[in-house]
């Protein structure tokens, strides 16, 4: 602080400023103790970082070692509907949400989408123009819990 910044006598902050300006003695040996402690902390952090990096490498290796069949197979869903405006694929693998998989229209009027599914059995349907539920005529059919037409697809392991 410069001389101009001095606190005036009677200023309520005077005692606090005097206390803050008071020198504090350093405990003997403090620097030695904190130096060793700092080295231990740095070693511990390095050990943790090494362990985290090793774990990341192990996870990456495991992900590449998993056979493709365990990750699922690609299934193409198709619907012939030349006169409709939009088709969505809904099913238990999309939580029956029409915004998850939109089919693309080919010039021939065939709508299709390809998704990756793990081995298992799935119920699905096509939602046409956001209003009409249609089952796939080439798959086994089964009504859903609300009486709407749905189909069943079975995805097998390779």
Q: What is the mean pLDDT of residues 109-118?
A: 94
3-state class (DSSP) for residue 32 = helix
pLDDT of residue 51: 62
What is the C-alpha separation between 42 and 34, in angstroms, rounded?
12
pLDDT tens digits along 7-51: 677 788 778 778 878 887 877 776 666 677 777 777 777 776 676
Count the Cβ atoms, other than its own, within 10 Å of residue 117: 17
First to last CA, the chain: 79
Residues 6+ apart with CB under 8 A from 24: none
Better-scored residue on pLDDT, 73 or 28: 73
- Between the CA of residue 73 and those of 31, 42, 81, 114, 119, what are the distances in Å? 63, 47, 25, 10, 7
**Mean of per-residue pLDDT scores for the chain:** 81
Answer yes or no: is pLDDT of 100 > 70: yes
More confident residue, 73 or 37: 73
CATH of domain 70-155: 2.60.40.10
- What is the model's pLDDT at position 18? 80
- Report which of residues 138 and 35 the model is more confident about: 138
**Domain-wise residue ranges, the chain:** 14-65, 70-155
Q: Residue 56's CB: how many other CB atoms inside 10 A? A: 10
- The pTM score is 0.56
């Amino acid at each position: 602080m410069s001389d101009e910044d001095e606190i005036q006598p009677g200023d309520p902050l005077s005692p606090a400023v005097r206390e803050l300006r008071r020198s504090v003695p350093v405990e003997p040996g403090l620097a030695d103790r904190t130096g060793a402690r700092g080295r231990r902390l740095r070693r511990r952090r390095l050990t943790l970082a090494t362990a985290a990096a090793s774990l990341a490498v192990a996870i990456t290796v495991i992900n590449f070692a998993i056979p493709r069949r365990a990750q699922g197979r690609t299934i193409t869903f198709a619907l012939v509907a030349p006169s409709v405006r939009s088709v969505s694929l809904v099913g238990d693998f999309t939580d029956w949400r029409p915004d998850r998989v939109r089919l693309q229209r080919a010039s021939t009027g065939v709508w299709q989408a390809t998704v990756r599914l793990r081995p298992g059995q799935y119920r699905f349907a096509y939602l046409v123009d956001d209003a009409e539920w249609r089952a796939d005529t080439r798959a086994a059919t089964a009504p859903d819990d609300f009486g709407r037409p749905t189909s069943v697809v079975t995805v097998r392991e390779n």
